[in-house]
Every structure is written in structure tokens, then in C-alpha cells.
Amino acid sequence: MRIVLAAGIALLLAPPLAARGDELGRKVFTQIAQPACAICHTLKAAGAVGTVGPSLDELRPDRARVMDAVKNGVGVMPPFAGKLTAEQIEAVVAFVAGAAGGQ
């Protein structure tokens, strides 16, 4: 009974699927990408305050713009294609575009 209850509570607390993708996106942004996006960018949703690159909260890039920057790099920003998996790139692009409000 206690186990069933615990499982029920765990299910209730588990974030919905979309939020879980967000969680991966945030992790890529703050930790997995090397160097991490957070080192260079400000993005409130990730608690990031980097100032090397533009503030993504202000830039509000849409998905296509984030995808292009992450895959190919821009200026001094390095490309991440080949460094991150397709799933990680998808997740961080969706996270940034969603969090910054550009969609």
C-alpha cells in the first residue's frame, strides 16, 4: 500500500512531457553544452547572467534563429553541431525560443 501511494505521488509530481523536454533544454543550456550557453548568455529562465553574447531575453530569437546559431555558430560563438546530439540541440532550441518568447 505504501509503495502504491509513493508511486502515485511520484506520478503526480512528475512533470508533463513538454516540461521534461524543457528540463533537458535547460540542462544543455547551463551544463551539457561545452562551453555552456549560460557562460555567455543571459536568459532568466535558465538563471543565466552571461554577458559575452547578447541577452536572449532581449533578443527573443525564434526557433530558426536559435537553431542556426547553435548548429553553425555566429561570430565568436562556437558551433555545437557534432558536440551535442540532435536531441540535445532540439531541446535547447525549443527551450531558448520558448523561454525567450520568440517561439
φ/ψ region of 93 (left if φ > 0, alpha if ψ in -120 to 50, else beta) reads alpha
From residue 35, how far is each of 15, 55, 73, 101, 103 by CA, in Å? 28, 17, 12, 24, 24
CB of 86 to ligand HEC, least distance (A): 13
Question: Which residue in 39, 55, 60, 98 binds ligand HEC (CB under 6 A)?
Answer: 39
76 binds ligand HEC (CB under 6 A): yes
Question: Which residue in 26, 48, 61, 94 binds ligand HEC (CB under 6 A)?
Answer: 61
Residue 49 belongs to what H/E stretch? strand 48-49
- Chain residues binding ligand HEC by CB under 6 A are 33, 35, 37, 39-41, 52-54, 56, 59, 61, 65-66, 69-70, 74-77, 80, 92, 96
